[in-house]
Structures are given as structure tokens and as C-alpha cells.
Amino acid sequence: MTLKVDVETVDPVRRRLAVEVPAEEVSIELEKAYADLGRAAKVPGFRPGRVPRGVLERMFGDRVRAEVFGKLIQQSYSEAVEGQQLPVVGQPEIVTEQAQPGAALRYSATVEVKPEVVVDNYTGLEVERPLAPITDADVDASLERLRQSLAQLHPIADRQQAQVADVVTLDYEARIDGRLVGRGESRDVEIGLNGFPSEFDQHLLNARVGDDLDFSANYAADHPLSDVAGKTVQFRVHVHRLSRKELPTLDDEFAKDHGESSTLEELRQRIRAQLEAAAARRADEAVRGAVLTALSKDHDIPVPHALIQRRTQALIEDVWHEWQQQRIIPKNESEAIARLREELEPRAREQVKISLLLEAIAQQEHIDVTDDDIETRITALASEAGAAGDRMRALYRDTEARRQLRARLLQARAIDVVVERAHVTTVHAATNVAEPAESR
């Protein structure tokens, strides 16, 4: 298609295209449209294929013109973007300026594009590597978790009322102002060691098998689950049964049976090595997070709104999927989504900004990701997926999925470059004795 295209820079992330399609091409498309219509149209008083052009224009002219001009705009816009090599990231705002038979088609298209980013400060960043020393308490806690996971439950038959250290099998629902925020069925809850607030345990004490309980519990402001932190949660609980926990003895036999070790001391050494490796990984991840934070702080770049919206929607879908897994049902779906959008948009903006910075660093450093690199990564992902490996491979036969994987690999390599050139100081972090999993 022969086009006349002028490009105007509106701001760093927007371009306005002034597009003109010649009158001759408009006329050709209109002729084709009326010819096709004439062969198919059924008009009373005329044989098929014999309907005069004037009749077709009078009866179907508005529809034909709308379809032809819409088609021409769509095709010419795509050609204009490709011809100008614009990195478009959103849908265009089209303003039609002239669209009539016998004349050129003129319109403007304003669209967001990726900004031209130059990262000029990514070498020698000063960051800390917070490495937590592994203590005997950490080893003890990990060993105790293994022991607890192997506990056997024995039904309590000589009483019906719950006591401290009993394991209560129960159903529960958790609500905030009527909104469901948590649910569990046939859940085993040990009184005094379950991750719920202490008030939850207090209401379970002396509860009888078959009881239905209604009570509220206050969550601490620093609770790791943001949707219940600092809030009062109303619980409805049904008690099914009581059990007593029997724990295995921590000795050399335990180490042989459950720890792939000859002695308990050897098992402790294995656990310490595993915890030290995990602490090193967390420290390295902290370094990567620190360099990204420093990059973002040092570079003020424009971020296209379309990319922010796209990333926000992805984050919302992640949260929504998590809620479905936990059987959390918002009382008002539209209000919940609006609240999530408001909460998650700042995070989405930061993530998009960092992605643009890493993409620019990869370009400046001439970093490349080959098809072989992608296949190697897919093979690794399929291996990690185990029985779902074939589905993983099928997923990455999709062009868009492969493009996203390539982008992630490119960004990871860009981060590696920044980390390698950073000034990293290892500092001692607070020891992190593992705690029981938090619950609602």
C-alpha cells in the first residue's frame, strides 16, 4: 500500500502518526467491496448480481464505507508502524480527519512506544550482601520440623474436650466484614503450635467434638499476610475429632531412617550445610534485589502507561488465582479488583521500569540470547516439571511464550553483569530460625 506517513514526537513515550492513503487506493477498495456485495446481495425486484450500483449505495452505503475505511485504517496503521520501526506497546488512539469516496483517507494515530533508555550508572554500585550465620538453634529448628513432619496422630477416645497440645481436626471459615478471606476443611490444628493468633487457641481449649464455634481473633499489624494484618477476623469452626501427636525419638536410628545419615550428628551436619547453602542463596538474591533498587533510584525514565496497565493486570490475575486456590471469595468482585489495582499499580510501575533499564543494559552490553539458549532453558524447566514436562515443552512452542522466556533470560544476564561490576560488602544478617507456617 502506498502511504504518506509523518511522525511527530508528543513526549518520550508517545508518537503521533499522520497517515494518508491515496484516493486511488480508497476507490479500488470501495469498488471491490461493492462488487462483492453486488454478487451476494438479495434485493427485491432485482436478480442476484444485477443490482445497480446506485441502489447498493443507497441501501448499504453507510455499512460499506464503514467497513472499507475501517479495513484501510487497520491495514495502513500496521504498515505505517512497521515502516517507521516504532516499538509500539499499546493500542492507538485513532482520529479520522477525512474519510469519503473520491478523496484520500486521512487520519492520525497516537500510540505509546518504548522510550529510548540509556543507563549511564550501573558499574560500581555499592550494595550489601546480608548473610545470616547458621546457629545451633537454626539446626535444631530444622531438625524439629523434620521430626514434626513424621509425627503420628492417635485418636483420643477417653475424652471429648480439647486440651493443650491436642491436635484438633476441624473445618473453618475466616471472614473480615463478611468477606471470606480463608477456608479449611478437615484441617489438623495443634493447640499452641499452629500459626493462628493466640485467641484462636483460647477458643479451641475445652471445645467438644461436634461443637460449632463462632468467635473473632485479632491479627498483629506485622502479620505476613497483608489481607489480615492488623485486622479482626471472624471465625466459624466445626470440631470433627481430637488426636494426640506421637513424635519419633531423635537418635541415630532416626538419622538412618529419615535423614540419609549414619548418625544423628552426621544428620545435623547435613542440615547445617543445607541451611548455609540456603542462606547464601538468600544473600545472593538480596544483592540482586539491591542492585535493581539502586538502578531504579539512580535513573528517572518515562514508563509507558500501557505497559504499567498490562503488568498490573498480570499481578491482579496472580492474586486472584491465589485466592481461588485458598477458596477466598470477595463479597464484591468489582470492588475487590479495583482495590487490587490501586494497591498493585505502584509495584507494576516499578517492575516495568526495571525491565526497561535491564533491556537497555543488555543492548548497551551487546548481550544476546540464542535459540540454543532458549532450548537449553526449556529442557531444564521440563526436567524440573517432572511428569508435567511434556506440557511445559508444549507451552514454549507458542511464539509469545518463547519471546517472554527470551526476555527473562536477557534480563537475568543483564543483572549478572551489574552484580559482577558492583562493590558488594558482606554483612551479618540476623539469624533466621525457621518458624511454623503462618495461617489465617
Residue 43: which residues within 8 A CB-CB, separation 6 or more? 51, 55, 59
Task: Estimate to the nearest angstrom the gap between the alpha carbon of 245 and the chain centroid.
Answer: 39
Q: Helix, strand, or coil here: 4?
A: strand
CA dihedral for 412, 413, 415, 420, sign (positive or negative): positive
In whole angstroms, what separates CA 131 from the centre of its chain?
Answer: 28
Domain boundaries, the chain: 4-112, 151-246, 276-428
Q: Tell me, what's the pLDDT at 437?
A: 43
Structure confidence at residue 331 (pLDDT)? 78
User: For every one of its 440 residues, what pLDDT tens digit does the chain have, with 9 covering 90 and above?
Assistant: 889 999 999 999 999 999 999 999 999 999 999 988 888 888 888 877 888 888 888 899 999 999 999 999 999 999 999 999 999 999 999 999 999 999 999 999 999 999 999 999 899 999 999 999 999 999 999 999 999 999 999 999 999 999 998 999 999 999 998 888 888 999 999 998 877 888 999 999 999 999 999 999 999 888 877 778 899 999 999 999 999 999 999 999 999 999 899 999 999 999 999 999 999 999 999 999 999 999 999 999 999 999 999 999 999 999 999 888 877 778 788 998 999 999 999 999 999 999 999 999 999 999 999 999 999 999 999 999 999 999 999 999 999 999 999 999 999 999 999 999 999 999 998 765 544 444 55
Q: Measured between alpha carbons, how far is 31 from 41 in angstroms, rounded to an integer? A: 15
Q: Which CATH superfamily is domain 276-428 in?
A: Trigger factor, C-terminal domain (1.10.3120.10)
Q: Between the CA atoms of 412, 413, 415 and 416, what dihedral angle is there, to the nearest 10 degrees?
A: 120
Which of 330, 306, 282, 293 shows the shortest CA–CA distance to 430? 282
User: Can you give the pLDDT at residue 1?
Assistant: 81
Q: Out of 3.50.50.60, 1.10.3720.10, 3.30.70.1050, 3.40.630.30, select the CATH number for domain 4-112.
A: 3.30.70.1050
How far apart CA 241 and CA 286 sit, in angstroms, is 44
Among 193, 178, 188, CA closest to 231? 178
Q: Give SS3 for 99.
A: coil
Task: Give the C-alpha separation, 142 to 325, whole Å.
Answer: 27
Give dist(CA 100, CA 27) in Å, integer: 10
Output helix, strand, coil percentages for the chain, rounded to the nearest 5: 50, 20, 30
151-246: CATH, from 3.20.20.140, 3.40.50.300, 3.50.50.60, 3.10.50.40: 3.10.50.40
The CA–CA distances, whole Å, from 197 to 200, 202, 328, 439 equal: 6, 9, 19, 9
